[in-house]
Amino acid sequence: MTDQEDNKSGFIKREMLKKMQITLNNYQTYIMEALKQAYSTKFMECSQKGKSQVESTKCQDILNQRLEQSFKFISQGDQPVMREFKECVKQSKKEEEMNICFNQMMQAKDDNLEKARNLLLS
């Protein structure tokens, strides 16, 4: 590869990574909204009429613990996913390869989010 080709390849890689970062930032918002929606659904169940104050409070305490566990699960699950993505990008020579890396990462993030939502809704 010539210096000019190296520079072009590096530029394309940087531009793609910028776009991917924007998508990741939007995904973080999506994660928060998904967990907030799941939390709201369960919170309403905890606050149903006919439940005593003690039952409702206990239910909400458990829900808050599950929410914390969900956030931890996502955070801990994200670390290996990001390591794999960075390694994959380093190995990538073409735009298509970077897209494959990105799609694999997003699928892993979706899987982690689904597990976290299920934990919260259980």
What's the mean per-residue pLDDT of the chain? 87
* Whether 85 contacts 104, CB under 8 Å: yes
Three-state SS for the chain is CCHHHHHHHHHHHHHHHHHHHHHHHHHHHHHHHHHHHHHHHHHHHHCCCCCCHHHHHHHHHHHHHHHHHHHHHHHHHHHHHHHHHHHHHHHCCCHHHHHHHHHHHHHHHHHHHHHHHHHHHC
Average pLDDT over residues 83-107: 90
Number of domains observed in the structure of the chain: 1
For 44-94, how does the pLDDT look when each residue is reduced to its tens digit (9 = 90+)?
A: 988 887 788 899 899 999 999 999 999 898 889 889 999 999 999 888 888
pLDDT at 20 over 70: yes
Cβ within 8 Å of residue 108, ≥6 positions away: 77, 81, 84
The whole domain housing 17 covers 3-121
